[in-house]
Structure 1
C-alpha cells in the first residue's frame, strides 16, 4: 500500500529476489497491516538484528489494481485502478474476457470466467479512470492495454466493469469472518459449497493461503458455519498443501458428489 502497488500476494523470505548489501536496517518487523509505512510498524530498532543478507525479505504485490464492491472476493469484483493518488473504476465499453483475463492474471487469480458489465458488483465512486480498454490477453497489467487515456470517458458508474476469475473463492456463513467460514467457490455461473469427505488441514491450508489468511488452524466439517444452498461443487478434495488454489487439488469433478449441505466444509485460518 505504501508504494501504491495494490494488495500483497506474497511475503517472501530467504532473499528470494537476491541478497542485498550494506546495512540490514529492520528485523522482527510486526505490522498490523493498517500502518501507513513499514517503519511505523513494531521492529527491533534501526540496525538492531542478528541476520545475514540471505534472510532479506521481499514482497509480491498485485500492482495498482483491486477488486471491490458488494459481494466481491479476492478474485471477483468491480475492477478499480490506482492513478493520480486515487482509486477509480473502469468503464465497460468494449469490456470482454480478454480484458478480464489480464486482470485475473495480474491478481494471481487464475483465468477469467466472466467479464461482468453494468456495475454488476455495484457502482463505484470518484473517477472513472479507464474506458475502451482493449487487451490482447498477453499484457502483464491492465494499464498496459490500449485505452482511451486516463480519465477520458463519457461513462457513468452504472457502467463499471467487473471480473470473476477461476480462483474466485469466499468464506461465508453464520459467525464467519474474513478468514474463517464455510468454503464456497464460483463455477458455472454460481457459487457452491465443498463437501467434507476427506476434508483436512492440507485442504484448508490451500484455501487459507489462497485468500491471504495465513495458515490453517482448523478444517471444520459438518456445516460448522451453517449449511449452504445451491450446488455442491467439490467432493473428495485431496490437496498436498502446496497447490495455489483449491480447484487445482484432486477432486471427484465439479458437481460430482453424494453429499448434502449438512456436510459443507469450512476453514479457520490464522
Structure 2
C-alpha cells in the first residue's frame, strides 16, 4: 500500500505501508520510471516530475525503501527491485516524492517552499508560468486552496521567486477566489500573452511561516524572514548561530546548516525586525517552537 503525503492527492512525499506502519522512500536513484509506477498505482495519471531532497517535507518513522529500481511497467512500487524493507543509509532530507499528471499547478523558484513560489501550470505536455498582469490576492487564493496550503498571505509579482523558462501559459488571470482550480478562472487563453518572464506571478500561502530571501538567495539560502501579525519581518543576528540556522534549514526541508551568516549577508530587509536573541537547541522542528515560547509570549503580548 502506498500514499502521497505533504501536498495533494497526486503529488507529495511517497510513503509505503509495511509491518503495520507508514514509512518513506529514499531518493537514491529515484527517477521517472519509479514515479510512473506510483502515479499509476494511485490512479493519478503519468509522472511529470520527481522532486528530491524531501521537497514535500521530511517524513517520520521508518525509511522503508532505498535504491528502488522500476522498469515503469510494474503495477505496484513494492514489485520493483529495492535494497530490502528497512535497509538504507539515508537521512530524512532524502525522502522521495512525485508530481503526477493529475496535478496542474506547482510552486517553484528561488527561495520557494511547498506553499510559496513562482506559479507554474501544466499544459500541452510542458510546465509554464503565469504572467502577473492583473495578478492579485483572489487569484493567489485559488492556487493556495488547490495546493492545500491554507489562505493567501501575498501575491508577489515581477518574478519575486525568480524568472521561469519556456512558455508563459496564462495571462490576465481573473479569479473570483472561489474556483477549485486556477485553470477554471478567466484568462486570455493558453499561450496568449505579451509578457516576459520578469513578470512571472507568485504566491505566498498561510502554510508558510519562514522564508529565505534577499540578494543572491536561493531556495535554501538567504535572509531569514518570519510572518507575524500579518506582515513579514526579519530576525536580528544577536546570538544567531548554527543551531538556529539548523532549525530553519530543517523547517524548509533544506538539509543541514552549513553557515549562519550575520550582518545582513543577503542584504538588509525592510519593515519590522520581529525576532532578536533567538536561542535554539537545534532539534526543534520549527523556528516557531522557540518564537512561541520566548518571543511572542514575552515580547509581543
> What's the TM-score once normalised by structure 2's chain length?
0.52
Tell me, in whole angstroms, the C-alpha distance in 1 between the residues paired with 2:143 and 2:105.
8
Given that 1:173 and 1:225 are in contact with CA atoms closer than 8 Å, whether structure 2 keeps it comes out as no
Residue in structure 2 matching 1:113, options 145, 149, 153: 153
User: Does residue 143 of structure 2 align to residue 100 of structure 1?
Assistant: no
Match of 1:36 among 17, 32, 35: 32
1:121-160 paired onto structure 2 within 5 Å: 121=161, 123-143=163-183, 145-148=184-187, 150-151=189-190, 153-157=192-196, 158-160=198-200
> Are the aligned partners of 1:236 and 1:252 in contact in 2 as well (CA < 8 Å)?
no
- The 1-side partners of 2:263 and 2:221 are apart by 15
Please state if 1:226 is matched with 2:251.
no
Q: Is the 8 A contact 2:142 2:182 kept in 1?
A: yes
Structure 1 vs Structure 2 CA RMSD: 5.1
Q: How many residues align?
A: 228
C-alpha spacing 1:185/1:59, structure 2 compared with 1 (3 Å): same
Shift of 1:169: 0.9
> What aligned pairs does 1:1-270 form with structure 2 within 5 A after superposition?
9-14=12-17, 30-32=26-28, 35-38=31-34, 42-43=67-68, 46=81, 49=84, 63-69=103-109, 71-74=110-113, 75-107=115-147, 109-121=149-161, 123-143=163-183, 145-148=184-187, 150-151=189-190, 153-157=192-196, 158-166=198-206, 167=208, 168-170=210-212, 179=220, 183-185=224-226, 192-193=234-235, 204-205=246-247, 207-213=248-254, 224-228=260-264, 229-230=268-269, 231-235=272-276, 241=284, 246=288, 250=292, 252-253=295-296
1:124 is displaced (CA, Å) by: 3.6
CA drift at 1:98 = 1.4
Per residue, is there more helix in 1 or in 2? 2
Change (3 A) 1:200 1:140: farther
Instruction: Name the SS for the 2:32 alignment partner.
Output: coil
Gapped regions of structure 1 (runs ≥ 5): 20-26, 52-56, 258-270
Cα distance in 2 between the residues matched to 1:129 and 1:100 = 16
The 1:10/1:138 distance shift into structure 2, 3 A limit, reads farther
Gaps of 5+ in 2: 1-7, 37-65, 70-79, 87-94
